[in-house]
A and B are shown apart, each in its own frame.
Chain A
Amino acid sequence: MRNLILKDLVLHKKFLAVISLLYIAYMGIFGSRINSPRIFFLFSMIMSGIIPVLIFTREDKFKALSMTCSLPVSRRQIVLARYVLGWLLTLIIEVLMAGAVLLFPGSKLGPSDLLNLNMFVFALAMMTAILSILMPLLIRFGIAGIFVVAIGAQVLGIIVLSFRFKWNNILVALIAAMKSVFAFLSAGVDDPGRLALALAMICLVNLASIKCSEFLFRRKDV
């Protein structure tokens, strides 16, 4: 698996370098406008979560997947390596952007705002949300997977809005559930019990996503 990660780092090194610099510059210049750490993480997580997605779609664009699958690796290893690489890249780029925001002049955020446990768990949760949904779709549909998400979300929204009266009860319950999850996350994880629960949930969602991706990838013709 280490070889698979190194392979992608070597083959995409120029792309990664350019993106990293762009992101750092961007955060340095515009980061001073961000007031809340939560907004920072929301924003930056989406930005960095896209990086692994872009890398995998690049491989898709060049149709290089058949090469990767011809190497002495199993499909499972390829999927796992993608998740690990995805996390690694997102974390590193996230750190770089956080550094840019903290160090550049005019920043309204200080180290204590970003470097605390609550934010850390929040960041992990965000990353999990983004990667867990995108990865299986990418693996199954390739680049088109992103469009599937975008269009799927639109369609879902339209359906929900059309049937909002019929499904009123269900929708109310769903929204209440989402609200409580949000509240839970927002309330922070100072409590070790909550921390454990939050981390457990994050692990679970990731594992579920990995299993799903493995299943889909085993069936894919490259």
Chain B
Amino acid sequence: MKVIISNSSPDPIYEQINRQIKAQIISGDLAEGEALPSIRKLAQELLISVITTKRAYDELEREGFINTVSGKGTYVAVQNQELLKEKKMKIVEEKLAEAVSEAKMMGIGLDHLEDMLKLLFKEDQ
């Protein structure tokens, strides 16, 4: 699990943690059932308040991303696959919307855009 907090960021620390963990769960970097460090361990490693880490975990739990089993620890929750797919789609959708609006601004047509998409897909393969 990777968490990097910035003290100069306008976002409160618990939000930064929340966002980063969420992103890793959605992208699959954090697998289902994988164990997360305890709130105290995380606080120790990052040298921050345990109230902060608890808040981040509480929100993640409320949003359904993690589960805390008392006495055992915190684990990445089994993700509702539909929901997960939806979330992933949404992220890509947002990126595409950005590309589309840029294209329109620069006068690049849909055909051009489709060609670019095909080329990019082929590149990875």
Are A and B in direct contact (Cβ within 8 Å)? no
Seen from chain B, the residues whose Cβ lies within 8 Å of a Cβ on chain A are none
Seen from chain A, the residues whose Cβ lies within 8 Å of a Cβ on chain B are none
